[in-house]
């Protein structure tokens, strides 16, 4: 992900960082009220997401296409959950800043086992995933249009659509499960969106250099 410095890259840095900082301020206010009760997302370039443990209800996974801010399409697998709790959540993105060099934005939450991150209508658009996973009542090879356990409705992720997330492949291969349990999650993603996201123990840090979740 090496990038040259210059006017174009500075604009990209600003486009990514300003919404992130604004979103963080909104999250801080919402946390005082107990939850972030509006759809939000992160997209436009690859970033890393890790979790110590994730428990999800109403799981579905299917193919889709996300559009990078530069207009480049990327095939992704969308993992969706009607609700989820996450322990030791980490999200990181590395950018190139003029005169500074590489800068990392890190977000951590849910480090307290008794206060996990809580999410509803959660979507993760990813192109690489590693984890130890257990699925309950799983259906493999169901058509996208026949999913009944998890989320598949693009209207549930309108915010992500505005940032370029594509519609799912119509009636393509998909899988679903009543429940999903994942440990040691490591994934490379292009977008994340949620209807409600409660980030207990939120910690955001901007660091010079490369500092990623894994």
DSSP state of 168: P
> CA 52, CA 194: separation in Å to the nearest integer?
19
pLDDT 10s digits, 32-82: 344 444 445 555 678 899 999 999 999 999 888 777 766 777 788 889 999
> CA 102, CA 184: separation in Å to the nearest integer?
27
Please tell me the predicted confidence (pLDDT) of residue 152.
Answer: 74
Which phi and psi (to 5°) does residue 99 adopt?
Answer: 70, -15
Please tell me the predicted confidence (pLDDT) of residue 150.
Answer: 85
pTM more than 0.85? no
Please tell me the predicted confidence (pLDDT) of residue 197.
Answer: 86
> CA 109, CA 106: separation in Å to the nearest integer?
10
Three-state DSSP state, 101: strand
Residue that has been written with the tokens 């299917």 in this structure: 62
Sequential pLDDT tens for the chain (214 residues): 444 444 444 444 444 444 444 444 444 444 434 444 444 555 567 889 999 999 999 999 988 877 776 677 778 888 999 999 999 999 998 888 888 889 998 999 999 999 999 999 898 888 999 999 999 999 988 887 788 888 876 655 544 443 344 455 556 788 999 999 999 999 999 888 888 888 999 999 988 999 999 9
Question: Positive or negative CA dihedral for 115, 132, 91, 69?
Answer: negative
Exposure of 103 in the CB half-sphere (CA atoms within 13 A): 18
């Amino acid at each position: 992900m090496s990038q040259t410095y210059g006017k174009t890259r500075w604009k990209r840095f600003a486009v990514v960082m300003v919404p992130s900082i604004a979103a963080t301020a909104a999250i801080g206010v919402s946390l005082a009220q107990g939850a972030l009760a509006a759809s939000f997302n992160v997209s436009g370039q690859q970033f890393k997401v890790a979790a110590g443990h994730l428990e999800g209800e109403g799981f579905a996974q299917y193919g889709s296409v996300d559009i990078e801010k530069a207009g480049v399409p990327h095939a992704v697998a969308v993992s969706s959950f009607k609700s989820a709790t996450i322990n030791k959540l980490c999200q990181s993105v590395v950018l190139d800043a003029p005169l500074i060099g590489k800068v990392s934005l890190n977000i951590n939450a849910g480090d307290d086992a008794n206060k996990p991150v809580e999410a509803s209508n959660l979507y993760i658009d990813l192109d690489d995933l590693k984890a130890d996973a257990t699925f309950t009542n799983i259906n493999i090879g169901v058509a996208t249009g026949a999913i009944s356990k998890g989320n598949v409705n693009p209207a549930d992720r309108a915010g992500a659509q505005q940032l370029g997330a594509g519609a799912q492949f119509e009636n393509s291969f998909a899988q679903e499960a009543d429940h999903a349990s994942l440990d040691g999650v490591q994934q490379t993603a292009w977008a994340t969106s949620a209807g409600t996201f409660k980030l207990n123990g939120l910690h955001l840090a901007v660091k010079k250099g490369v500092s990623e979740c894994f």
